A and B are shown apart, each in its own frame.
Chain A
Amino acid sequence: MGGTMGQDFIRQKICDGVMFNAITDPKFKTNRLSVNLITPLNRQTVTGYALLPFLLRKGTRTCPDFTALNRKLNQLYGAYLGADVSKTGDSQIITLFIQSLDDRYALENEPVSAECARLLCRLAMDPNFVDGAFPEADVTLEKQNLSDIIASEINDKRTYAIGEMLARMYENEPYGLKKYGYLEDIAAVTPKSAADAYRRLLETAAVELFFVGGGSFEDSFAVAKEYFAVHPRKGEIYRSDFGLSPEKVREFTETMDVAQAKMVLGFRVNAAPGSEDRNPLRLMAALYGGTEHSLLFLNVREKLGLCYYCAARYDRHKGVMLVDSGVELPNIEKAKAEILRQFDRVQSGDFTGDDLNAAKLSLINAFGSVGDSLSSLETYYFGQVFAGAADPPQVQAEQLAAVTKEEIVRVSKLVRLDTVYILKGNQSAPKEEAAHE
């Protein structure tokens, strides 16, 4: 029954600085290949690099027209080509990926996967340069698109509040930077400077390719080798700094025309990314606020009825724990006191064996399901690679199962509140109801 038995994680070197990772399982009908360029977050380069995936997504030297490129994707059974930017620890990651139907399901036996791999590699490595620079029209449009993305951060208040809290908590530290960069730095980008940024990124980034899917990775590997083994690179995955305890808790409040206030609490975790404490910490955060059986859910939501969501999450790549909640403004202090009171309970061991067991079972269940989806497999193994490990999910599950209450209490003492951020409504502003009759 166990499908994960066949899911070996294969990691091969293409050349210095470029690695190819593969997980295959015939149960999938899809293949997914991604190219990830990993580089340290830096205020000087973050915006210019954030523009690159969107510029690369526009076309290649061999297929410079955006519409023709998309038609080609439709001919490849609606292959999905994605471009995005993410942040893991103190690194910025520029990603291009393609997801397509496995060859077994093609109607005329077309080699869909190999063609998709070639298209993706061309987009990443053979851009549509005009006199050594990106086409001016593309740069103008994609600068606007990136501006829209950056500005639209305020649209989702929950994500916005988390971003603003992190920017304040990690002020003057790389982790506080926004992954898409800054509006004020976009204007200065030119077709030439974008091309220079591209060359510099390729020269310095750690390159990780991931193939996850139902087909064979051999064709994709051969194509990737052809494009990426051209010359070795210097890139290495950069290790994140981890937080030391704050002198005192800092509080920030921002006002916006919102109906519901948002509160985000940032805690520093004094444990190195990848340390032995990562699984006890993960479990501690789940017990505290990661499940429907957690202390936060049962008390802040179910018992006091103060909110719809109140959750804790631990980011092991950085060593930070966040708690966020949406509450009515008059209840903010009450909610904050309860959130902190529940954390005191964790630190003093005031929780039951059932509480701990529920958190364990929930995480073990999640690790047990990793092998059943392409995206969770990629996310999981990317996390392993990022932390310099290659353990299968079962190993994490076994380690979690063995964590004791004493360990939870011990690691919870590595965690200290650093920053509180509140986004509150401008209560005097009249509520806009124009759209309702």
Chain B
Amino acid sequence: MNKQTVANERIGESYRKIKHPSGLTVYLYPMKGFVTSYAVMGTRYGSVDCRFKTGRDEDFVTVPNGIAHYLEHKLFENEDCDAFARFAKTGASANAFTSFDRTCYLFSASSRLPENLEILLDFVTSPYFTPETVEKERGIITQEIRMYDDNPDWRVFFNLLSALYHVNPVKIDIAGTAESIQKIDAPLLYRCYNTFYNLNNMALAVAGNFSEEEVLAVCDRVLKKAEDIMVESVPPKEPELPVKQYAEQKLPVSLPMFHIGFKETPWDEGGFGEQKGMSYAHSCAEVFLEIFCGEASPLYRELYDQNLINASFGSELMMGRGYSCFIFAGESKDPKAVYSRILSALEDYRRKGIDPEEFETARKAVYGRIVRGYNNIESTANGLVLSHFYGITLFSSLESVSAMTLDDVNALLKTCLKRERGALSVILPA
């Protein structure tokens, strides 16, 4: 077993990365003084993985939108019993989520770690789908999709992605649509499962209160060696420019809601210019957004004082496998005015550059927020799985912020946040 320690001297923290003989990569982050243990098992498989093949397949297969999420729901059922029923006997709180590019299964428990971990590893590695059980889930998932149809925050976000992306499946709701999930059946679920739920395509992270020995003993007992089948998931080729620069929908909301987005070349396809890796690009963006439109920025103040934004305003760089975009979100009586002000403010920064003192202050703020995140068992374990899939370490962002230079942040502005790559999505009150 290949074991290594990943340490960070700056904050005096470390964790273990172990390649288990089964093929699974295991991350262990014991946290002194904590009572709870939190374990998350994830696969590099999300809603964007609709077209794929393994080394054994001749051709790519295209599957219906929403299937990764459907599979997540169905995996909780095994042949003889339901995973929730097994966790009911230990008291652990279990859950799962599907995102654009990963699916994770998790539990949080204040006792009986080995027993809970055994349930987790066992149910994730024991699929059981029949036509009847697959059919039963369709009603529940349809209600989940319908719930999101009524959620304006969700709609404004996906309407933006639909405006930005021509063919990338990131534009489709993670759960799929009421129509697309009709085509999902047991054989298709097995095909997806057998492709993506290969231990070589997965990671397990445990954080909190446990010992390395007890976790590895459970892994040894439950996991069977998996051959690496070389998964290839290739999204359709996406053009550089958005589909359209404006989208609107009417829903029962009080004030218009907006999402302003800028489509960037994905980090894994050479985006973000000469930046030093994904984590570095992301950290530069975080520092820039703090300077540009954080609560301490002149732009935030101006928009707030003119009553163009309220306290719900926020921004982020969303990055995942095969997609990257900046998003500015909020509520406004005049979203178009906000959009045009953001565009002109970006031009100002491009022309004048960033003030070195503002850069230092924003960097300090971002540093503090990252360190504060290491308090939390859930975010630590989830962060380990995410870092694994992106080929970085949990400490990469901390190191990026420490190493960052003003020039790098200014350089970001040269390649990103271009007017012709922007779009505005608005939800208007019905």
Contact = CB atoms under 8 A, between A and B. Distances in A.
B250 interface: yes
B340 interface: no
Contacts of A148: 254-255, 310, 312, 331
Contacts of A434: 247-250
A77 B364 contact: yes
Interface in B246-272: 247-255, 257
Interface residues of B, number: 84
A291 B111 contact: no
Interface string A13-27: 000000000000111
Interface in B199-258: 208-209, 243, 247-255, 257
A260 interface: yes
B290 A293 contact: no
Contact of B209 (A1, A54, A309): A1
Contact of B155 (A74, A78, A435): A435
Interface string B268-312: 000000000000000000000010001111101100110100111
B368 A256 contact: no
Contacts of A360: 91
Q: Chain B interface secondary structure, helix, strand, loop or mixed?
A: mixed
Interface string A393-415: 00000000000000000000000
Contact of A155 (B110, B153, B294, B311): B153
B35 A2 contact: yes
Given A74-B361, A308-B147, A145 B311 contact: yes
A75 B364 contact: yes
A141 B308 CA distance: 11
A365 B147 contact: no
A27 B208 CA distance: 11
B35 A305 contact: no
Contacts of A432: 249-251, 430
A327 B139 CA distance: 10
B255 A152 contact: yes
A330 interface: no
A373 interface: yes
B351 interface: no
A257 B111 contact: no
A154 interface: yes
A74 B364 contact: yes
14 contacts: A3-B33, A67-B296, A71-B361, A74-B364, A78-B368, A99-B372, A148-B255, A156-B153, A258-B150, A309-B147, A365-B91, A365-B93, A369-B35, A436-B159
Given A3-B209, A77-B368, 7 more contacts: A66-B301, A70-B296, A77-B371, A148-B331, A149-B311, A354-B89, A365-B110
Interface of A: 1-4, 6, 25-30, 54, 66-67, 70-71, 73-79, 99-101, 105, 107, 137, 141, 144-145, 148-149, 151-158, 214, 256-260, 291-293, 301-302, 305-309, 326-328, 354, 357-358, 360-362, 364-369, 371-374, 432-437
6 tightest Cβ-Cβ pairs between the two chains A and B = A77-B368, A368-B110, A361-B91, A78-B365, A27-B33, A151-B254
